[in-house]
Structure 1
Amino acid sequence: MKPTILYEKNYHIDLRDVDFQKKLKLSALFSYFQDAANDAAIRLGVGIDTLQEKFDAAWVLMRLKVDIERLPSLDEEITIETWPQEPRRFDFERDFLVKGRDGNIIIRAISSWGIIDLKERKLVKASAISLEYPEVIEERAIHGKLRKLKGTDPMHPVYKKVIGYSDIDFNGHLNNSRYIDYMMDCFPIEDHEKYQPESLEVNFINEALPGDEIVMKQGEGETSGEIIMEGVREKDDTVIFRAKVKIKEI
Structure 2
Amino acid sequence: MIKEYKSELLDDGITLLNEKKILFGQCGPDKRLHLSEVMQYCSDYVTELYTQRGYDRDFLVEHGYAQMVSRSSFHIYDLPKENDVITISVREEKPEGPQLMRCYEFKDSKSNQLLIVGKSLWVIVEPKTRAVVFPNRFEFLAKSDVETREECAKPGRIKFPEKLVHLSDQKIIYSMIDGNNHLTNSKYINFAIDYLPEQYQSKEITDFRLNFCKEIRKDDTMQVNAFFNNEENKILVEGKIASDGERSFECELIYK
Normalised TM-score (structure 1): 0.91
Show the 5 A alignment for 1:218-237.
Answer: 218-221=226-229, 224-237=232-245
Q: CA deviation at 1:123?
A: 2.2
1:18-62 Cα shifts (integer Å, max 9, x gaps): 11121100001111111221111223444322211212x211010
SS at match of 2:45: helix
Q: CA deviation at 1:136?
A: 3.6
Match of 2:133 in 1: 124
Change (3 A) 1:172 1:210: same
Q: CA deviation at 1:122?
A: 2.8
Match of 2:255 in 1: 247
In structure 2, give the amino acid aligned to 1:33.
C
In structure 1, give the amino acid aligned to 2:179.
F
Q: Could you list the structure 1 runs, at least 4 aligned residues long, displaced by more than 6 angstroms after superposition.
A: none
In structure 1, give the amino acid aligned to 2:29.
F
In structure 2, give the amino acid aligned to 1:90.
P
Equivalent residue in structure 2 for 1:208, among 210, 216, 219:
216
Unaligned runs of at least 5 residues, structure 2: 1-8
Q: CA deviation at 1:143?
A: 6.2
1:179-211 Cα shifts (integer Å, max 9, x gaps): 111111022444333x12110001101000111
User: Within 2, Cα distance between the matches of 1:191 and 1:148?
Assistant: 23
1:196-247 Cα shifts (integer Å, max 9, x gaps): 2110001101000111111000003495111111000122210001111101
Equivalent residue in structure 1 for 2:88, among 80, 83, 86:
80
Q: CA deviation at 1:16?
A: 1.5
Unaligned runs of at least 5 residues, structure 1: none
What is the percent sequence identity of the aligned residues?
24
Q: CA deviation at 1:141?
A: 4.7
Match of 1:113 in 2: 122
Q: CA deviation at 1:119?
A: 1.4
User: Within 2, Cα distance between the matches of 1:223 and 1:90?
Assistant: 36
Show the 5 A alignment for 1:80-229.
Answer: 80-101=88-109, 102-133=111-142, 136-142=145-151, 145-193=154-202, 195-221=203-229, 224-229=232-237
Normalised TM-score (structure 2): 0.89
Q: Is the 8 A contact 1:152 1:228 kept in 2?
A: no
Change (3 A) 1:69 1:58: same
Q: CA deviation at 1:166?
A: 0.8
User: Within 2, Cα distance between the matches of 1:152 and 1:41?
Assistant: 39
Output the aligned Cα RMSD.
2.0
How many aligned residue pairs are there? 246
Match of 1:35 in 2: 44
User: Within 2, Cα distance between the matches of 1:96 and 1:205?
Assistant: 22
In structure 2, give the amino acid aligned to 1:184.
I
Change (3 A) 1:136 1:44: farther
Q: Is the 8 A contact 2:85 2:108 kept in 1?
A: yes
User: Within 1, Cα distance between the matches of 2:126 and 2:223?
Assistant: 27
In structure 1, give the amino acid aligned to 2:217.
L
